[in-house]
């Protein structure tokens, strides 16, 4: 085998690895987007409801996206200040337990479900 054919073989291998890497990144990005939307929908179903505004406020925000990476956040755009209070509960006036609000855990269960789904979907898509 000549030096030229070895260089061409190395170039072809590098090109195929780059193409596979991009396909894998695109597949993972698609799964992240899908899972974030499902997490948002689950939060809309399981959030506490008084007027319905809190439930309707859940949204997906695209924080960053490049060819190889994506970062998305599921957040409440209308009543963000209530998320911690509703998730964990809080004391009443003056720090007493009289009039305390109980916790309605809804964010952590949705997160756990979404994380498990995403891991499983990526494994299936990448064939692992």
**2 falls within a domain:** no
**10 falls within a domain:** no
Q: Which of 105-119 are b and which e, b meaning 16 or more Cβ less than 10 Å from the residue's Cβ?
A: ebbeebeeebeebbe
Number of domains in the chain: 1
**84 falls within a domain:** yes
Domain region containing 65: 27-126
Spans of the chain below 70 pLDDT:
1-3, 128
Please report the pLDDT score of residue 1 as a whole number: 54
Please report the pLDDT score of residue 2 as a whole number: 61
105: left (phi over 0), alpha (psi -120 to 50) or beta: beta
Cα 66 to chain centroid, rounded: 16
Cα–Cα dist 39/58, whole Å: 9
Please report the pLDDT score of residue 51 as a whole number: 85
**89 falls within a domain:** yes
Please report the pLDDT score of residue 87 as a whole number: 94
């Amino acid at each position: 085998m000549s030096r030229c054919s070895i260089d061409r073989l190395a170039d072809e291998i590098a090109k195929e690895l780059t193409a596979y890497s991009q396909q894998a990144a695109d597949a993972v990005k698609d799964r992240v987007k899908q899972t974030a939307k499902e997490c948002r929908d689950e939060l809309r179903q399981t959030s506490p409801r008084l007027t319905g505004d809190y439930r309707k406020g859940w949204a997906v925000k695209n924080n960053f996206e490049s060819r190889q990476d994506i970062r998305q956040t599921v957040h409440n755009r209308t009543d963000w200040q209530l998320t911690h209070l509703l998730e964990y509960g809080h004391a009443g006036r003056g720090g007493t337990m009289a009039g305390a609000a109980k916790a309605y855990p809804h964010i952590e269960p949705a997160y756990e479900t979404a994380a498990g789904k995403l891991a499983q979907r990526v494994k299936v898509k990448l064939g692992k």
